[in-house]
Chain A
């Protein structure tokens, strides 16, 4: 799950870059940039969940 999360972080960033380069016109570009950020947030959720300390295991 951790590496999937990092993969999603990179994928989201590439989506943002691609939107900046390839798309013209505010609505479409903004939509793709926001979609890229959403993918990054999903990646962060995966990474944070993979680092949670399980209950009943003393550290």
Chain B
């Protein structure tokens, strides 16, 4: 049963971005289980055919990704194989930076999603147009003059959240609001601080309602990604006009102990996504939501005796009721002759093609300025909201 009022106006498309930090091992997520070369190169981390979960003649899911297998079989998941870019970097930071700013060759300060916020809400009227769950704002959402909200803990969000007594906190917030009143002649930086402080207050006020309105039958697991995705549902169903959600799932840098480590993360991630989709459907709020799961790079084909080192081509996933399920682009070639740097599988699709497709077809925006050029699109949607 839900008490949430149905939005009367047309539903606006929403994008949920899930960042897998550290470099998810795509090859061990979507496994080419018929290739001898996979097993030859991965004596330690390779997953045997009998353990994996085949879903095509040549590809199988990691045994801990059973939830993804179910979503895929429902036809709600596009697997984009071999995502990368020509100027890839093996540095986590640099690679992530490229994904966040769409600038492979220079260091840029404007995040791609910040540019989207600017398009959607040019006057910065809604402080929760974009919401990140995690500590600190990811670079993708940051740009001068763009407002985005970052939430560490939705149940305890906002300024002075450490003040235990609600009465004291409320009074502090009132004083804060008075102290952060923009005043003539106080200087540009002081005014900017005032404005930012006021935005934080109004954003927090809006968000405070979300947990109170939410009821759900879905029981999420107790881990950070499940909690973050549940928070996405809570804010989304509160109807605050949030169009972009962002969260990260960390720990994919499996140089060592990959076998147990990767299995644990994939269980957390895939179960959380499945619960999330169910929760959205229960709230009649799934149709307008598209999830993008990405990582900064894939990992090398050869294992190092304990894990795998940073590689090139990775993989991304699009999930949603309106996604045309299937495989997109091509699985990176395993043939040694095609390896780059003599050890990496090459990418087969530029990450900016993925962004352009989402921006253009899902969000209804012109992607050229946001991603910095024309990139070939593919067609992963059965229906769009725009």
- Are A and B bound to each other? no
Interface positions of A (Cβ within 8 A of B): none
Chain B residues within 8 Å of A, Cβ to Cβ: none
